Chain A
Amino acid sequence: MESSLLNIPEESYRVRLEVFEGPLGLLLHLIRKNKVSIFDIPVALILSQYLEFLDLMRELNLRIAGEFLEMAATLAYIKSRMLLPRHADEEDEEDDPRMDLVTSLMEYARIREIAKELSNRFLLERDVFARGAPIGAGTREDQEFEAGLFELTSAFVELMKRAETAPPMEVKMDAVSLRRRMVELLSQVKKHAQSGLTFQKLIKGLSSRSDAVFTFLAILELMRLNAIKAFQHEPSAIIRIFPGPRAWVPLPLVEDF
Protein backbone atom coordinates (compact mmCIF):
# COMPACT_ATOMS: atom_id res chain seq x y z
CA MET A 1 0.00 0.00 0.00
CA GLU A 2 1.47 3.35 -0.94
CA SER A 3 1.93 5.50 2.09
CA SER A 4 0.19 8.43 0.45
CA LEU A 5 -3.12 6.62 0.45
CA LEU A 6 -4.36 8.68 3.33
CA ASN A 7 -2.45 11.79 3.94
CA ILE A 8 -2.95 12.57 7.57
CA PRO A 9 -0.44 14.88 9.22
CA GLU A 10 1.63 13.45 12.01
CA GLU A 11 0.47 15.68 14.86
CA SER A 12 -3.21 15.54 14.13
CA TYR A 13 -5.74 14.30 16.58
CA ARG A 14 -5.21 10.75 17.69
CA VAL A 15 -8.27 8.55 17.86
CA ARG A 16 -8.22 6.40 20.92
CA LEU A 17 -10.05 3.42 19.59
CA GLU A 18 -10.24 0.36 21.75
CA VAL A 19 -9.15 -2.44 19.52
CA PHE A 20 -11.90 -4.89 20.11
CA GLU A 21 -10.34 -7.75 18.22
CA GLY A 22 -6.83 -9.01 18.69
CA PRO A 23 -3.99 -10.14 16.44
CA LEU A 24 -5.33 -13.70 16.22
CA GLY A 25 -8.59 -12.33 14.83
CA LEU A 26 -6.65 -10.31 12.28
CA LEU A 27 -4.61 -13.37 11.26
CA LEU A 28 -7.72 -15.51 10.81
CA HIS A 29 -9.22 -12.67 8.79
CA LEU A 30 -6.17 -12.63 6.50
CA ILE A 31 -6.03 -16.43 6.20
CA ARG A 32 -9.68 -16.47 5.21
CA LYS A 33 -9.29 -13.56 2.82
CA ASN A 34 -6.40 -15.25 1.02
CA LYS A 35 -8.12 -18.64 1.10
CA VAL A 36 -4.97 -20.35 2.34
CA SER A 37 -4.67 -23.36 4.63
CA ILE A 38 -4.12 -22.83 8.31
CA PHE A 39 -1.67 -25.76 8.24
CA ASP A 40 0.47 -24.25 5.53
CA ILE A 41 0.40 -20.53 6.14
CA PRO A 42 2.41 -18.56 3.58
CA VAL A 43 4.10 -16.56 6.32
CA ALA A 44 5.79 -14.00 4.07
CA LEU A 45 2.52 -13.11 2.35
CA ILE A 46 0.50 -13.00 5.56
CA LEU A 47 3.19 -10.98 7.33
CA SER A 48 3.29 -8.35 4.60
CA GLN A 49 -0.50 -8.00 4.67
CA TYR A 50 -0.47 -7.95 8.44
CA LEU A 51 2.06 -5.11 8.42
CA GLU A 52 0.01 -3.27 5.78
CA PHE A 53 -2.91 -3.42 8.17
CA LEU A 54 -0.82 -2.05 11.03
CA ASP A 55 0.45 0.72 8.76
CA LEU A 56 -3.08 1.62 7.87
CA MET A 57 -4.13 1.66 11.50
CA ARG A 58 -1.16 3.88 12.21
CA GLU A 59 -2.04 6.18 9.32
CA LEU A 60 -5.53 6.46 10.67
CA ASN A 61 -3.96 7.31 14.00
CA LEU A 62 -5.62 4.37 15.66
CA ARG A 63 -3.94 3.24 18.80
CA ILE A 64 -2.29 -0.08 18.14
CA ALA A 65 -2.27 -2.39 21.12
CA GLY A 66 1.01 -3.99 22.11
CA GLU A 67 -0.32 -7.46 21.26
CA PHE A 68 -0.38 -6.53 17.58
CA LEU A 69 3.27 -5.56 17.56
CA GLU A 70 4.21 -8.67 19.48
CA MET A 71 2.49 -10.82 16.87
CA ALA A 72 4.25 -8.94 14.07
CA ALA A 73 7.57 -9.75 15.72
CA THR A 74 6.57 -13.42 16.06
CA LEU A 75 5.63 -13.59 12.38
CA ALA A 76 8.90 -11.96 11.35
CA TYR A 77 10.81 -14.45 13.47
CA ILE A 78 8.96 -17.41 11.93
CA LYS A 79 9.58 -16.03 8.47
CA SER A 80 13.31 -15.76 9.11
CA ARG A 81 13.46 -19.26 10.56
CA MET A 82 11.72 -20.64 7.51
CA LEU A 83 14.46 -19.21 5.34
CA LEU A 84 17.07 -21.26 7.17
CA PRO A 85 17.96 -24.56 5.53
CA ARG A 86 16.47 -27.46 7.42
CA HIS A 87 18.34 -30.60 8.33
CA ALA A 88 17.33 -33.50 6.17
CA ASP A 89 16.97 -35.84 9.13
CA GLU A 90 14.45 -33.69 10.98
CA GLU A 91 12.17 -32.48 8.31
CA ASP A 92 9.09 -33.80 10.09
CA GLU A 93 6.33 -31.45 11.18
CA GLU A 94 7.82 -31.06 14.66
CA ASP A 95 10.42 -28.84 13.14
CA ASP A 96 8.01 -26.48 11.45
CA PRO A 97 8.57 -23.04 13.00
CA ARG A 98 4.89 -22.32 12.42
CA MET A 99 3.74 -25.03 14.84
CA ASP A 100 3.07 -22.86 17.90
CA LEU A 101 1.28 -20.26 15.85
CA VAL A 102 -0.92 -22.90 14.21
CA THR A 103 -1.80 -24.29 17.64
CA SER A 104 -2.79 -20.84 18.94
CA LEU A 105 -4.78 -20.11 15.82
CA MET A 106 -6.62 -23.41 16.04
CA GLU A 107 -7.37 -22.92 19.74
CA TYR A 108 -8.70 -19.50 18.88
CA ALA A 109 -10.69 -20.80 15.91
CA ARG A 110 -12.24 -23.35 18.25
CA ILE A 111 -13.21 -20.62 20.73
CA ARG A 112 -14.75 -18.67 17.89
CA GLU A 113 -16.75 -21.70 16.91
CA ILE A 114 -18.01 -22.22 20.45
CA ALA A 115 -18.84 -18.53 20.67
CA LYS A 116 -20.84 -18.90 17.47
CA GLU A 117 -22.65 -21.97 18.80
CA LEU A 118 -23.52 -20.12 21.98
CA SER A 119 -24.79 -17.21 19.94
CA ASN A 120 -26.93 -19.56 17.85
CA ARG A 121 -28.89 -20.74 20.89
CA PHE A 122 -32.27 -19.28 21.76
CA LEU A 123 -31.03 -16.38 23.82
CA LEU A 124 -33.21 -14.86 26.47
CA GLU A 125 -34.22 -11.29 25.62
CA ARG A 126 -33.09 -11.77 22.03
CA ASP A 127 -34.94 -14.81 20.64
CA VAL A 128 -37.14 -15.84 23.52
CA PHE A 129 -38.70 -13.85 26.30
CA ALA A 130 -39.88 -14.58 29.78
CA ARG A 131 -42.90 -12.81 31.20
CA GLY A 132 -42.87 -9.16 32.16
CA ALA A 133 -41.88 -7.23 29.06
CA PRO A 134 -42.27 -3.48 29.48
CA ILE A 135 -44.49 -2.35 26.62
CA GLY A 136 -43.26 0.33 24.26
CA ALA A 137 -41.78 0.97 20.85
CA GLY A 138 -39.16 -1.63 20.07
CA THR A 139 -36.02 -1.49 18.01
CA ARG A 140 -35.57 -3.75 15.05
CA GLU A 141 -32.40 -5.63 14.36
CA ASP A 142 -32.18 -8.75 12.29
CA GLN A 143 -29.84 -11.67 12.30
CA GLU A 144 -26.82 -9.84 11.05
CA PHE A 145 -23.61 -9.99 12.94
CA GLU A 146 -21.79 -7.07 14.29
CA ALA A 147 -19.09 -5.73 12.02
CA GLY A 148 -15.83 -5.14 13.84
CA LEU A 149 -12.81 -3.03 13.21
CA PHE A 150 -11.34 -5.29 10.52
CA GLU A 151 -14.50 -5.48 8.46
CA LEU A 152 -14.93 -1.71 8.56
CA THR A 153 -11.30 -0.99 7.81
CA SER A 154 -11.21 -3.50 4.95
CA ALA A 155 -14.31 -1.96 3.41
CA PHE A 156 -12.85 1.50 3.85
CA VAL A 157 -9.55 0.58 2.19
CA GLU A 158 -11.41 -0.93 -0.77
CA LEU A 159 -13.39 2.26 -1.20
CA MET A 160 -10.30 4.43 -0.94
CA LYS A 161 -8.42 2.35 -3.49
CA ARG A 162 -11.23 2.59 -5.97
CA ALA A 163 -11.89 6.26 -5.49
CA GLU A 164 -10.19 8.29 -8.18
CA THR A 165 -10.23 11.56 -6.41
CA ALA A 166 -7.96 14.55 -6.58
CA PRO A 167 -4.46 14.21 -5.12
CA PRO A 168 -4.60 13.95 -1.38
CA MET A 169 -4.61 17.18 0.47
CA GLU A 170 -3.60 17.93 3.99
CA VAL A 171 -6.33 17.12 6.41
CA LYS A 172 -6.73 19.58 9.19
CA MET A 173 -8.03 17.50 11.96
CA ASP A 174 -8.60 18.36 15.57
CA ALA A 175 -10.80 17.11 18.32
CA VAL A 176 -13.35 19.88 17.90
CA SER A 177 -14.00 19.27 14.22
CA LEU A 178 -14.05 15.53 14.79
CA ARG A 179 -16.68 15.96 17.45
CA ARG A 180 -18.73 18.14 15.09
CA ARG A 181 -18.56 15.43 12.45
CA MET A 182 -19.61 12.85 15.02
CA VAL A 183 -22.65 14.91 16.00
CA GLU A 184 -23.70 15.33 12.33
CA LEU A 185 -23.19 11.67 11.60
CA LEU A 186 -25.09 10.52 14.66
CA SER A 187 -28.14 12.58 13.77
CA GLN A 188 -27.98 11.17 10.23
CA VAL A 189 -27.85 7.62 11.61
CA LYS A 190 -30.75 8.30 13.95
CA LYS A 191 -32.83 9.57 11.03
CA HIS A 192 -32.28 6.22 9.30
CA ALA A 193 -32.77 4.16 12.44
CA GLN A 194 -35.16 1.73 10.73
CA SER A 195 -33.25 0.67 7.62
CA GLY A 196 -29.78 1.68 8.70
CA LEU A 197 -27.27 3.85 6.91
CA THR A 198 -25.04 2.10 4.39
CA PHE A 199 -21.38 2.52 5.19
CA GLN A 200 -20.25 2.20 1.58
CA LYS A 201 -22.77 4.74 0.30
CA LEU A 202 -21.94 7.09 3.11
CA ILE A 203 -18.24 7.13 2.29
CA LYS A 204 -18.75 7.25 -1.49
CA GLY A 205 -21.09 10.19 -1.20
CA LEU A 206 -18.35 12.39 0.21
CA SER A 207 -16.60 14.81 -2.08
CA SER A 208 -13.04 14.62 -0.82
CA ARG A 209 -10.73 12.02 0.54
CA SER A 210 -10.16 13.97 3.71
CA ASP A 211 -13.91 14.05 4.28
CA ALA A 212 -13.95 10.28 3.89
CA VAL A 213 -11.13 9.75 6.37
CA PHE A 214 -12.77 12.09 8.78
CA THR A 215 -16.10 10.35 8.52
CA PHE A 216 -14.46 6.98 8.97
CA LEU A 217 -12.75 8.14 12.16
CA ALA A 218 -16.03 9.58 13.40
CA ILE A 219 -17.69 6.20 12.80
CA LEU A 220 -15.00 4.40 14.77
CA GLU A 221 -15.28 6.85 17.65
CA LEU A 222 -19.07 6.56 17.73
CA MET A 223 -18.76 2.78 17.74
CA ARG A 224 -16.38 2.95 20.65
CA LEU A 225 -18.88 5.11 22.53
CA ASN A 226 -21.65 2.61 21.73
CA ALA A 227 -23.61 5.39 20.04
CA ILE A 228 -23.75 3.45 16.80
CA LYS A 229 -23.46 -0.19 15.80
CA ALA A 230 -22.41 -1.63 12.48
CA PHE A 231 -23.91 -4.83 11.09
CA GLN A 232 -23.14 -7.04 8.14
CA HIS A 233 -24.85 -10.14 6.75
CA GLU A 234 -21.63 -11.87 5.80
CA PRO A 235 -17.99 -10.91 5.42
CA SER A 236 -17.47 -8.44 2.57
CA ALA A 237 -21.18 -7.67 2.33
CA ILE A 238 -22.69 -4.23 2.72
CA ILE A 239 -22.19 -2.78 6.18
CA ARG A 240 -25.13 -0.95 7.67
CA ILE A 241 -24.99 1.44 10.57
CA PHE A 242 -27.70 1.68 13.21
CA PRO A 243 -28.09 3.70 16.39
CA GLY A 244 -26.47 1.92 19.33
CA PRO A 245 -27.59 1.64 22.96
CA ARG A 246 -26.08 5.04 23.75
CA ALA A 247 -27.30 6.89 20.66
CA TRP A 248 -29.61 9.15 22.60
CA VAL A 249 -27.16 10.01 25.32
CA PRO A 250 -25.36 13.33 24.76
CA LEU A 251 -21.89 12.79 23.32
CA PRO A 252 -19.08 13.39 25.79
CA LEU A 253 -17.27 16.69 25.53
CA VAL A 254 -14.04 16.90 23.66
CA GLU A 255 -11.95 16.73 26.82
CA ASP A 256 -13.52 13.42 27.72
CA PHE A 257 -12.33 11.64 24.61
Chain B
Amino acid sequence: MEDVKGAVEAIVFAANSPVTVRQIRETLGLDDPAGVREALNALKLEYEERDGGISMVEVAGGYQFRTNPRYSEQVTALRKSPRFRLTRASLETLAIVAYRQPVTRAEIEALRGVEVGGVLKHLLTKGLLRIEGRKESPGRPILYGTTKKFLSVFDLKDLGALPPLKEMEELDLGQEVFEE
Protein backbone atom coordinates (compact mmCIF):
# COMPACT_ATOMS: atom_id res chain seq x y z
CA MET B 1 0.00 0.00 0.00
CA GLU B 2 2.71 2.51 1.00
CA ASP B 3 4.51 1.75 -2.23
CA VAL B 4 1.39 2.38 -4.33
CA LYS B 5 0.67 5.56 -2.41
CA GLY B 6 4.16 6.93 -3.06
CA ALA B 7 3.91 6.07 -6.74
CA VAL B 8 0.49 7.66 -7.06
CA GLU B 9 1.74 10.83 -5.37
CA ALA B 10 4.72 10.97 -7.72
CA ILE B 11 2.51 10.56 -10.80
CA VAL B 12 0.06 13.26 -9.76
CA PHE B 13 2.96 15.58 -8.94
CA ALA B 14 4.73 15.00 -12.25
CA ALA B 15 1.68 15.33 -14.50
CA ASN B 16 0.94 18.68 -16.08
CA SER B 17 -2.85 18.26 -15.99
CA PRO B 18 -5.34 16.44 -13.76
CA VAL B 19 -4.66 12.66 -13.88
CA THR B 20 -7.51 10.18 -13.86
CA VAL B 21 -7.71 7.00 -11.77
CA ARG B 22 -7.57 5.04 -14.98
CA GLN B 23 -4.39 6.77 -16.19
CA ILE B 24 -2.71 6.05 -12.87
CA ARG B 25 -3.87 2.44 -12.83
CA GLU B 26 -2.61 1.85 -16.36
CA THR B 27 0.70 3.59 -15.66
CA LEU B 28 1.28 1.39 -12.64
CA GLY B 29 0.10 -1.74 -14.47
CA LEU B 30 -2.56 -2.49 -11.89
CA ASP B 31 -5.78 -4.33 -12.67
CA ASP B 32 -7.83 -3.10 -9.79
CA PRO B 33 -8.66 0.61 -9.50
CA ALA B 34 -9.64 0.19 -5.85
CA GLY B 35 -6.03 0.39 -4.65
CA VAL B 36 -5.42 3.57 -6.63
CA ARG B 37 -8.59 5.15 -5.25
CA GLU B 38 -7.64 4.20 -1.74
CA ALA B 39 -4.19 5.74 -2.18
CA LEU B 40 -5.65 8.93 -3.65
CA ASN B 41 -8.10 9.32 -0.79
CA ALA B 42 -5.39 8.75 1.77
CA LEU B 43 -3.16 11.33 0.09
CA LYS B 44 -5.95 13.87 -0.13
CA LEU B 45 -6.58 13.48 3.56
CA GLU B 46 -2.90 13.75 4.44
CA TYR B 47 -2.54 17.05 2.60
CA GLU B 48 -5.76 18.31 4.12
CA GLU B 49 -4.59 17.48 7.63
CA ARG B 50 -1.20 18.99 7.05
CA ASP B 51 -2.89 22.23 5.90
CA GLY B 52 0.27 23.54 4.30
CA GLY B 53 0.92 25.30 1.03
CA ILE B 54 -0.35 22.50 -1.21
CA SER B 55 -3.55 20.55 -1.49
CA MET B 56 -4.61 17.67 -3.69
CA VAL B 57 -7.87 18.41 -5.46
CA GLU B 58 -10.26 16.27 -7.41
CA VAL B 59 -11.03 18.29 -10.48
CA ALA B 60 -12.24 17.77 -14.07
CA GLY B 61 -12.45 14.00 -13.57
CA GLY B 62 -8.88 13.69 -12.25
CA TYR B 63 -6.49 14.62 -9.48
CA GLN B 64 -4.07 17.53 -9.32
CA PHE B 65 -1.85 19.34 -6.85
CA ARG B 66 -2.81 22.95 -6.39
CA THR B 67 -1.64 25.70 -4.08
CA ASN B 68 -3.60 26.59 -0.99
CA PRO B 69 -5.92 29.54 -1.75
CA ARG B 70 -4.57 31.18 1.40
CA TYR B 71 -1.37 31.94 -0.47
CA SER B 72 -2.88 33.22 -3.71
CA GLU B 73 -1.36 36.65 -3.23
CA GLN B 74 2.13 35.31 -2.68
CA VAL B 75 1.95 33.03 -5.69
CA THR B 76 0.54 35.81 -7.83
CA ALA B 77 3.53 37.94 -6.86
CA LEU B 78 5.80 35.19 -8.19
CA ARG B 79 4.18 34.98 -11.56
CA LYS B 80 4.78 36.94 -14.71
CA SER B 81 1.26 36.74 -16.05
CA PRO B 82 -1.54 38.90 -14.67
CA ARG B 83 -4.07 37.26 -12.44
CA PHE B 84 -6.82 35.41 -14.26
CA ARG B 85 -10.00 37.41 -14.40
CA LEU B 86 -13.37 36.97 -16.02
CA THR B 87 -15.73 39.79 -16.82
CA ARG B 88 -19.30 39.76 -15.63
CA ALA B 89 -20.46 39.11 -19.20
CA SER B 90 -18.22 36.03 -19.42
CA LEU B 91 -19.31 34.70 -16.03
CA GLU B 92 -22.99 35.13 -16.81
CA THR B 93 -22.62 33.43 -20.17
CA LEU B 94 -20.68 30.54 -18.62
CA ALA B 95 -23.34 30.20 -15.90
CA ILE B 96 -26.08 29.87 -18.52
CA VAL B 97 -24.17 27.38 -20.65
CA ALA B 98 -23.11 25.30 -17.64
CA TYR B 99 -26.66 24.73 -16.49
CA ARG B 100 -28.49 24.61 -19.81
CA GLN B 101 -26.08 22.89 -22.15
CA PRO B 102 -26.26 22.18 -24.97
CA VAL B 103 -27.62 25.63 -25.61
CA THR B 104 -27.88 27.96 -28.61
CA ARG B 105 -26.73 31.52 -28.83
CA ALA B 106 -30.35 32.73 -29.16
CA GLU B 107 -31.28 30.96 -25.94
CA ILE B 108 -28.40 32.61 -24.08
CA GLU B 109 -29.31 36.00 -25.50
CA ALA B 110 -32.93 35.61 -24.43
CA LEU B 111 -31.81 35.09 -20.84
CA ARG B 112 -29.17 37.79 -20.72
CA GLY B 113 -31.18 40.25 -22.79
CA VAL B 114 -28.08 41.22 -24.72
CA GLU B 115 -26.07 40.15 -27.72
CA VAL B 116 -23.41 37.56 -26.80
CA GLY B 117 -21.53 36.85 -30.05
CA GLY B 118 -18.29 38.48 -28.89
CA VAL B 119 -18.36 36.85 -25.47
CA LEU B 120 -18.97 33.39 -26.99
CA LYS B 121 -16.04 33.83 -29.34
CA HIS B 122 -13.83 34.89 -26.44
CA LEU B 123 -14.85 31.90 -24.32
CA LEU B 124 -14.32 29.50 -27.25
CA THR B 125 -10.83 30.92 -27.76
CA LYS B 126 -10.12 30.58 -24.04
CA GLY B 127 -11.14 26.93 -24.28
CA LEU B 128 -13.85 27.28 -21.65
CA LEU B 129 -16.65 26.55 -24.13
CA ARG B 130 -16.88 24.33 -27.16
CA ILE B 131 -19.25 23.69 -30.02
CA GLU B 132 -21.31 20.59 -29.29
CA GLY B 133 -23.04 20.34 -32.66
CA ARG B 134 -26.12 21.77 -34.24
CA LYS B 135 -29.68 21.85 -33.07
CA GLU B 136 -32.19 20.00 -35.23
CA SER B 137 -34.44 22.99 -35.67
CA PRO B 138 -34.90 25.63 -38.38
CA GLY B 139 -31.59 27.21 -39.27
CA ARG B 140 -29.75 24.41 -37.43
CA PRO B 141 -28.18 26.79 -34.88
CA ILE B 142 -24.87 25.92 -33.20
CA LEU B 143 -25.07 24.33 -29.75
CA TYR B 144 -22.56 25.33 -27.08
CA GLY B 145 -21.33 23.39 -24.08
CA THR B 146 -18.63 23.67 -21.42
CA THR B 147 -15.23 21.99 -21.66
CA LYS B 148 -13.01 20.00 -19.34
CA LYS B 149 -10.97 23.16 -18.91
CA PHE B 150 -14.07 24.89 -17.58
CA LEU B 151 -14.32 22.23 -14.86
CA SER B 152 -10.62 22.55 -14.14
CA VAL B 153 -10.65 26.34 -13.90
CA PHE B 154 -13.75 26.42 -11.70
CA ASP B 155 -12.53 23.71 -9.35
CA LEU B 156 -15.33 21.28 -10.26
CA LYS B 157 -15.06 17.50 -10.10
CA ASP B 158 -17.73 17.17 -12.79
CA LEU B 159 -20.86 19.01 -13.90
CA GLY B 160 -22.78 17.39 -11.05
CA ALA B 161 -20.62 19.40 -8.66
CA LEU B 162 -22.11 22.69 -9.86
CA PRO B 163 -23.88 24.57 -7.09
CA PRO B 164 -27.54 23.47 -7.04
CA LEU B 165 -29.96 25.71 -8.88
CA LYS B 166 -32.20 27.60 -6.56
CA GLU B 167 -35.88 27.62 -7.28
CA MET B 168 -37.41 31.00 -7.92
CA GLU B 169 -39.08 30.89 -4.54
CA GLU B 170 -35.81 30.25 -2.78
CA LEU B 171 -34.12 33.15 -4.48
CA ASP B 172 -33.27 35.74 -1.95
CA LEU B 173 -34.63 38.83 -3.59
CA GLY B 174 -33.25 41.13 -0.98
CA GLN B 175 -30.51 43.54 -1.88
CA GLU B 176 -27.74 41.01 -1.82
CA VAL B 177 -28.88 39.30 -5.02
CA PHE B 178 -28.16 42.50 -6.84
CA GLU B 179 -25.01 43.43 -4.97
CA GLU B 180 -22.66 42.31 -7.70
Contact residues of A with B, CB < 8 Å?
18-25, 28-29, 31-32, 35, 37-39, 65, 67, 71, 104, 106-119, 121-141, 145-146, 148, 229, 234-235, 245
Chain B residues numbered 67-117 whose CB sits less than 8 Å from any CB in chain A:
67-69, 72-73, 75-89, 91-92, 94-96, 98-99, 111-115
Partner of A128, one of B16, B73, B155: B155
User: Nearest Cβ distance between residue B108 and chain A, in whole angstroms?
Assistant: 10
On whether the beta carbons of A114 and B99 are closer than 8 Å, the reply is yes
Partner of B114, one of A65, A127, A136: A65
On whether the beta carbons of A138 and B153 are closer than 8 Å, the reply is no
In the assembled complex, the Cα of A126 lies from the Cα of B76 at a distance in Å of: 8
On whether the beta carbons of A148 and B88 are closer than 8 Å, the reply is yes
Interface centre among B98, B114, B168, B173 (most CB of A within 10 A): B114
Q: A124-B66, A124-B84 are in contact. Are A116 and B113 (CB under 8 A)?
A: no
Q: A24-B112, A122-B69, A123-B153 are in contact. Are A136 and B79 (CB under 8 A)?
A: yes
On whether the beta carbons of A145 and B180 are closer than 8 Å, the reply is yes
B10 at the interface (CB under 8 A from A): no
In the assembled complex, the Cα of A22 lies from the Cα of B121 at a distance in Å of: 18
Interface centre among A22, A130, A136 (most CB of B within 10 A): A130
Enumerate the 3 nearest inter-chain pairs by beta-carbon distance, A residue then B residue, closest first.
Answer: A22-B114, A136-B80, A125-B84
On whether the beta carbons of B76 and A139 are closer than 8 Å, the reply is yes
Known: A115-B180, A129-B72, A141-B82. 20 other contacts (CB 8 A): A22-B113, A106-B171, A106-B173, A107-B111, A108-B111, A111-B95, A114-B98, A114-B165, A121-B154, A122-B66, A123-B84, A125-B153, A126-B84, A128-B69, A129-B66, A130-B65, A131-B16, A131-B65, A132-B16, A138-B80
User: Nearest Cβ distance between residue A213 and chain B, in whole angstroms?
Assistant: 25
B137 at the interface (CB under 8 A from A): no
Partner of B64, one of A123, A130, A148: A130
**30 A-B pairs in the complex with CB atoms less than 8 angstroms apart:** A21-B88, A23-B114, A24-B114, A31-B178, A32-B178, A106-B173, A107-B111, A108-B111, A109-B171, A110-B168, A111-B92, A112-B177, A112-B178, A112-B180, A114-B98, A114-B163, A121-B155, A122-B155, A124-B84, A128-B69, A129-B67, A130-B16, A131-B13, A131-B65, A135-B79, A138-B76, A139-B76, A139-B83, A140-B76, A146-B85
Partner of A115, one of B81, B92, B155: B92
B125 at the interface (CB under 8 A from A): no
In the assembled complex, the Cα of A104 lies from the Cα of B112 at a distance in Å of: 9
In the assembled complex, the Cα of A117 lies from the Cα of B96 at a distance in Å of: 13
Closest to B112 in A: A22
Closest to B80 in A: A136
Partner of B66, one of A22, A35, A128: A128
Q: B155 contacts which chain A residues (CB < 8 A)?
A: 121-124, 128
User: What is the 8 Å Cβ interface bit string for chain B, positions 50-65, against chain A (1 contact, 0 not)?
Assistant: 0000010100000011
Chain B residues numbered 3-57 whose CB sits less than 8 Å from any CB in chain A:
13, 16, 55, 57
User: Nearest Cβ distance between residue A65 and chain B, in whole angstroms?
Assistant: 7
Q: A31-B178, A124-B153 are in contact. Are A110 and B82 (CB under 8 A)?
A: no
Q: A24 contacts which chain B residues (CB < 8 A)?
A: 112-114
User: Nearest Cβ distance between residue B174 and chain A, in whole angstroms?
Assistant: 10
In the assembled complex, the Cα of A177 lies from the Cα of B81 at a distance in Å of: 32
Q: A111-B92, A118-B95, A123-B155 are in contact. Are A128 and B168 (CB under 8 A)?
A: no
On whether the beta carbons of A113 and B166 are closer than 8 Å, the reply is yes
In the assembled complex, the Cα of A23 lies from the Cα of B111 at a distance in Å of: 11
